[in-house]
Structure 1
Amino acid sequence: MTSAPLPFLGLPQRLPDGTTPRAVIVSAGHGSPYPAQDSSSHAMAAQMIRAASQADAPLLTHWDFDLDGPLFGDGPPSCVDQGEIATVAGASAANRAAISGKTREILDLPAVPILIGGDDSVVIPFLEGFDCAEPVWIVQIDAHLDWRDEIKGERYGYSSPMRRASEMAHVTGMVQIGLRGVGSARHAELVDARHYGSRLVTARDIHAEGVEAALRLIPAGARVVVTLDCDALDPAVMPGVAGRSPGGLSYQHVIDLIAGLGQRCRIAGFDLVEFYPKADVDGVSALTASRILVNLIAAVCRQA
């Protein structure tokens, strides 16, 4: 592991008093790309998000109206940024081992791992890392179903994380939120997702009924791992994605989902993936991603 030149929000790599943090941020630039696919732009995502967070770094004790208080309440910072997991373009198996291994290490502290990707393939080893802990529900916030079994012979690519999660013994349920438009899914993948028992909530459902359309499907008290693909958000607020699709969730929808999960369940882990810096406009996507992570940290650090 190497420390990030610009840690998220200026957070330390470890707490100064030696106490165990509530949450640990790490990033992984490379996962399991498809053959001949260049993952270098996605690999820059964490650096851009960390840079966007620096404007808020001096404001940690200021009142945040998203959170109804300062980020860490009346206490000191209880989240750290341990920087980048060493991953290499094309070294798919080694990348997966490094990501799942670091996830297990954080859970052993114990703390809540927060992973910044990278493309959606980093989600698979991140979820695998929870095999050392209690069973979890997966809450996926994404425009796409992600149930492909393989593409070009690759079973661990960015179109397969929910398929692979459904095969993990420690995953006991799944809610997929924000679905819309078209992607890699065919009718067969939809049938498989429903047969597994995944609870599908479209973007239209959220726009019509609010975030409760999804929250009520998650058992109260469940341990949840949240995986957020940036293309779940509408491109008006998140243009920096590889596959823009109109009709997505708003920033408010996403932070309300996070707050609702923090109140209804126990957030055991979180990842944010698929920010594509080359497509960003005036840094809007990096800023939005940064603010989502702020809300996530607050929800985790307010858990009993």
Structure 2
Amino acid sequence: MGHDHRPHRELAPGMAEQLDLPYAGVVSFGHRPFLTESEQLDSWKPDVAVVGAPFDVGTTNRPGARFGPRAIRATAYEPGTYHMDLGLEIFDWLEVVDFGDAYCPHGQTEVSHRNIRERVHAVADRGIVPVILGGDHSITWPAATAVADVHGYGNVGIVHFDAHADTADEIEGNLASHGTPMRRLIESGAVPGSHFVQVGLRGYWPPQDTFEWMLEQKMTWHTMQEIWERGFKAVMADAVAEALAKADKLYVSVDIDVLDPAHAPGTGTPEPGGITSADLLRMVRQLCHEHDVVGVDVVEVAPAYDHAELTINAAHRVVFEALAGMAARRRDAADGVGQPARSYRDRGVTSPE
């Protein structure tokens, strides 16, 4: 992997042990090294960098997704790092860091979106896969644009899990609503409509004219009605195949409200009749295992409406399944001759700084 060895950092008694506790110590995703500056990415050379986008000004219903990134980092139950289905230790094959949050000042959509785009670009431009924790779904507009800036407009496809298509032209005059990001990406040319695969749509929005526009853009989508009629495995097989045919690179966007509210009540616009967490986790894993994923986001986690941390844990596991899929892809590509990534503890670093 070519990672640089880092000098040992002495910690006060008891501090090192805290790093292994899910309910104490430094707040970083998976207790991975916490970096703040772009130059640190050059030194660490990770494979994946987690970026928070604590922005929810684009919300139309219940606000609160700005608290999602911190909750996903701090509140989720620690799952361990060995994936029993794939038979691998995730961080042996994948070096992951937490790159902190984009600065999202209160009420300033343009500034916040610009900062999200710049921070994600700093990650993607170095050949590192950004995993973005939202925030409302409007953050996918700047985040996916940053990924397309690096890999080329028209070279990135999106698999979009959501109860809603998020393809409105505008909502109450707002072009940067959480109901409009996919249209903005298509109109800008960053991600053509033909490169979209949407899964889990249901309910009463958007209206017919928006679906007609989506057809004109050659978008592909799978509704919950189709999933109910054909079964999730059949639809999943089609969606994965469609994603593989769309583009060389793939960006996966997960609105947590794609899950039924029984699995994820802590979100701004819950819609009954959604998929289960078991199905979502396996599909995200499969996409990241079988395709060249260059970006992932998990959005619309609003902790204030959660119960027993169900939504937070589901979102946390979505990220871990994405990482597991990427790790398995790297392991399979090595074909027994590759070397696992060294963890930061193996490199003599005892504090995620």
Q: TM-score, normalised by structure 2?
A: 0.77
Question: Which residue of the other structure, out of 39, 43, 49, is the alignment partner of 2:72?
Answer: 49
Question: Mapping of 1:264-275 within 5 angstroms?
Answer: 264-275=290-301
Report the alpha carbon displacement of residue 54 of structure 1 after superposing the two structures with TM. Answer: 5.4
Question: Which residue of the other structure, out of 71, 78, 89, is the alignment partner of 2:90?
Answer: 71
What is residue 199 of structure 1 aligned with on the other side? 220
Report the alpha carbon displacement of residue 234 of structure 1 after superposing the two structures with TM. Answer: 1.2
In the alignment, the residues of structure 1 paired with residue 89 and residue 263 of structure 2 have an alpha-carbon distance, to the nearest angstrom, of 24
Query: Do structure 1's residue 248 and structure 2's residue 274 form an aligned pair?
Result: yes
Question: Does the CA contact (< 8 Å) of 1:27 and 1:116 recur in 2?
Answer: yes
Question: Does the CA contact (< 8 Å) of 1:31 and 1:95 recur in 2?
Answer: no
Report the alpha carbon displacement of residue 213 of structure 1 after superposing the two structures with TM. Answer: 3.2
In the alignment, the residues of structure 2 paired with residue 171 and residue 9 of structure 1 have an alpha-carbon distance, to the nearest angstrom, of 31
What is residue 160 of structure 1 aligned with on the other side? 180
Q: Over residues 247-276 of structure 1, what are the superposed CA-to-partner deviations in whole Å (9 max), with x where a residue is unaligned?
A: 211112112211221233211100111111
Question: Which residue of the other structure, out of 198, 207, 212, is the alignment partner of 2:237?
Answer: 212
Is 194-203 or 15-24 further displaced after alignment?
15-24
In the alignment, the residues of structure 1 paired with residue 119 and residue 41 of structure 2 have an alpha-carbon distance, to the nearest angstrom, of 21
Question: Mapping of 1:20-35 within 5 angstroms?
Answer: 20-30=45-55, 32-33=57-58
Report the alpha carbon displacement of residue 70 of structure 1 after superposing the two structures with TM. Answer: 2.2
In the alignment, the residues of structure 2 paired with residue 194 and residue 16 of structure 1 have an alpha-carbon distance, to the nearest angstrom, of 41
Report the alpha carbon displacement of residue 200 of structure 1 after superposing the two structures with TM. Answer: 0.9
Question: Does the CA contact (< 8 Å) of 2:76 and 2:309 recur in 1?
Answer: no
What is residue 9 of structure 1 aligned with on the other side? 30
- Structure 1: give runs of 5+ residues left out of the alignment: none
Question: Does the CA contact (< 8 Å) of 1:240 and 1:275 recur in 2?
Answer: yes
Query: Do structure 1's residue 133 and structure 2's residue 151 form an aligned pair?
Result: yes
Aligned partner of residue 44 in structure 1, secondary structure: helix
Question: Does the CA contact (< 8 Å) of 1:258 and 1:296 recur in 2?
Answer: yes
In the alignment, the residues of structure 2 paired with residue 140 and residue 114 of structure 1 have an alpha-carbon distance, to the nearest angstrom, of 14
**Aligned residues: percent identity?**
26
Question: Which residue of the other structure, out of 115, 118, 122, is the alignment partner of 1:101?
Answer: 118
Q: Match for 1:284: what amino acid? A: L
Question: Does the CA contact (< 8 Å) of 1:112 and 1:269 recur in 2?
Answer: yes
Please say which structure displays the higher CA radius of gyration.
2
Q: Match for 1:55: what amino acid? A: E
Query: Do structure 1's residue 142 and structure 2's residue 168 form an aligned pair?
Result: no
Question: Which residue of the other structure, out of 306, 309, 317, is the alignment partner of 1:283?
Answer: 309
Report the alpha carbon displacement of residue 123 of structure 1 after superposing the two structures with TM. Answer: 1.1
In the alignment, the residues of structure 1 paired with residue 26 and residue 178 of structure 2 have an alpha-carbon distance, to the nearest angstrom, of 27
What is residue 190 of structure 2 aligned with on the other side? 170
Report the alpha carbon displacement of residue 175 of structure 1 after superposing the two structures with TM. Answer: 0.6
Report the alpha carbon displacement of residue 67 of structure 1 after superposing the two structures with TM. Answer: 3.8
Report the alpha carbon displacement of residue 32 of structure 1 after superposing the two structures with TM. Answer: 4.5
Q: TM-score, normalised by structure 1?
A: 0.88
In the alignment, the residues of structure 2 paired with residue 5 and residue 155 of structure 1 have an alpha-carbon distance, to the nearest angstrom, of 37
Query: Do structure 1's residue 118 and structure 2's residue 135 form an aligned pair?
Result: yes
What is residue 284 of structure 2 aligned with on the other side? 258
Q: Cα–Cα, structure 1 residues 9 and 117, in superposed 2: closer, same or farther, change >3 Å?
A: same
Q: Cα–Cα, structure 1 residues 296 and 161, in superposed 2: closer, same or farther, change >3 Å?
A: same
Question: Which residue of the other structure, out of 143, 168, 179, is the alignment partner of 2:201?
Answer: 179
- Structure 2: give runs of 5+ residues left out of the alignment: 1-24, 331-353
Question: Does the CA contact (< 8 Å) of 1:32 and 1:122 recur in 2?
Answer: no
